[in-house]
Amino acid sequence: MKNKIVIYDFDGTLTPYSVPKIELMDKIGCTAQEYEEKMKAWLALNPTKDVFDAYYITFLNVLKEYGYPLTDETFAMGGNLNDYNPGVIEYFEDIKNLTKNYLVSSGFKVPLQHSGVAKYFDEIYGTVFSYDENKTATGIAYAMNDRRKVDKIKEICALNHLDDLNLENVIYIGDGLTDAYAMSFVKEHGGLPIFVYQPHENLDAFNELKNKGIVDHAFVADYSRDTDLYNTILEFLHK
């Protein structure tokens, strides 16, 4: 069995909600609707920026508004409270000696590092804050987005001494159109992109990606033993 690498998106891929659920916002009383309104207001004032920028900056602005210190201790709050798709923990236990696992998410790196699945990843990539000398966040040092996920896949290949033009031993698992660049890159170079979805969701996003030749496989995001998703990944890892 050759060395294999599995790369995961987070929200919607490992969790049951495709839109990031920020437990810290629930704790301080900022609802999802309020957060979205603040994002739209910020974008109206910054029309050259995109929704990723709005999401990240709004996070810091809300914390300041509610009087929370912009420190890693604050950012980590609630990071361990995520819900996961069925079978996720058992799945990681089953494969932890079969492959290297990497998380590439547009979410914030600090709470991801405190999540209940963090210990299963060889490295976690996400959006990173910039800090002053007092370890207080001053802004965003690196904003992960859909295009930059490809850069991280190349970085992961370099770490593992793999040619990023030959990804036959790489799986990428994602749940939406924001994974299109990553999935396309992996498939184009011989790897296996897998689309996962929630049972109640339609397959419009998958069909769009499939019609573009980006991904062929779609499974319900159930990692339990003997599901189609579990068996497909295990078969790949044992090749």
Domain boundary among 75, 97, 114: 75
169 shares its domain with 180: yes
Which is it for strands 123-131 and 137-142: parallel, antiparallel or unpaired?
antiparallel
* Cα 21 to chain centroid, rounded: 12
103 shares its domain with 176: yes
10 shares its domain with 34: no
Round to whole Å and give the CA distance between 163 and 109: 26
Position 165 scores a pLDDT of: 85
Output the pTM of the full model: 0.93
Per DSSP, what are the bridge partners of residue 102? 7, 123
113 shares its domain with 201: yes
Angle at 78 between CA 99 and CA 222, to 5 degrees: 40
209 shares its domain with 185: yes
51 shares its domain with 119: no
Task: Give me the number of domains the chain comprises.
Answer: 2
DSSP 170-222: EEEEE-SGGGHHHHHHHHHTT-EEEEEE-TTS-SHHHHHHHHTTS--EEEES-
Confidence of residue 116 (pLDDT cuts 50, 70, 90): very high
Mean pLDDT of 53-70: 93
Other beta carbons less than 10 A from residue 109's beta carbon: 18
Find, among 184, 185, 183, the residue nearest to 196 by Cα: 183
144 shares its domain with 32: no
Position 164 scores a pLDDT of: 81
53 shares its domain with 155: no
Find, among 21, 27, 206, 198, the residue nearest to 107 by Cα: 21
Q: What token pair was written down for 191?
A: 């790897």
Position 1 scores a pLDDT of: 46
Q: Is 129 helix (H, G, I), strand (E, B) or coil?
A: strand
Position 23 scores a pLDDT of: 79
Backbone angles phi, psi at 219, to 5 degrees: -135, 150
202 shares its domain with 112: yes
Domain encompassing residue 181: 5-20+80-237
pLDDT of residue 166 exceeding 50, the answer is yes
Position 132 scores a pLDDT of: 97
Confidence of residue 138 (pLDDT cuts 50, 70, 90): very high
Mean pLDDT of 45-66: 92
121 shares its domain with 34: no
pLDDT of residue 19 exceeding 80, the answer is no
pLDDT of residue 49 exceeding 60, the answer is yes
175 shares its domain with 210: yes
The pLDDT tens digits of the residues spanning 186-229 come to: 999 999 999 999 999 999 999 999 999 999 999 999 999 999 99
The CATH number of the domain holding residue 202 is 3.40.50.1000
Domain boundary among 38, 57, 75: 75
Confidence of residue 52 (pLDDT cuts 50, 70, 90): confident
161 shares its domain with 90: yes
Q: Please count the helices (runs of H) and the strands (runs of E) in the chain.
A: 10, 7
Confidence of residue 2 (pLDDT cuts 50, 70, 90): low
pLDDT of residue 21 exceeding 80, the answer is no
Mean pLDDT of 78-105: 94
Mean pLDDT of 29-34: 89
Residues 64/71, Cβ–Cβ less than 8 Å:
no
Domain boundary among 34, 60, 75: 75
